[in-house]
Amino acid sequence: MRVSYQRGHLRCVNRKDGPSRWEFLWRENDPLGHRIRRNTVIGTLDQYPTEELALEWSRDCECKLMRCETVNVNNPFSSPI
C-alpha cells in the first residue's frame, strides 16, 4: 500500500556532493486539475540539526499552503504573491 502525505512530507536527503539537507514535498493541482509534485529545500543539517527544528519550519510553510496562498519556493516566508 502506498503512503499518502496529505499535508506534505519532510525528508532528509543525503547528497553526493555537499552536505545533507532537509526537503519539504507536497502536491498541488494546476488550473487544469492535474496533480503537480512540488518541493523546496528547507536547509542543511547544519542549519536544522534535528527533525523537530525542520518540522517547525515546514509547519509554517504548510500553513501557507493550506490557506491556498501561493508560496514563493525561493523564500517560503515571503508574503503571498
Q: d(Cα 66, Cα 70) in Å, to the nearest integer? A: 10
pLDDT along the chain (81 residues), means of 10: 68 92 88 89 92 84 56 51 42
Domain boundaries, the chain: 9-66
> What three-state secondary structure class fits 51?
helix
Q: What is the pLDDT of residue 21?
A: 94
First to last CA, the chain: 37
What pLDDT, on a 0 to 100 scale, did the predictor assign at position 22?
93
pTM: 0.64
Q: What pLDDT sits at residue 81?
A: 42
For residue 79, the model assigns a pLDDT of 45
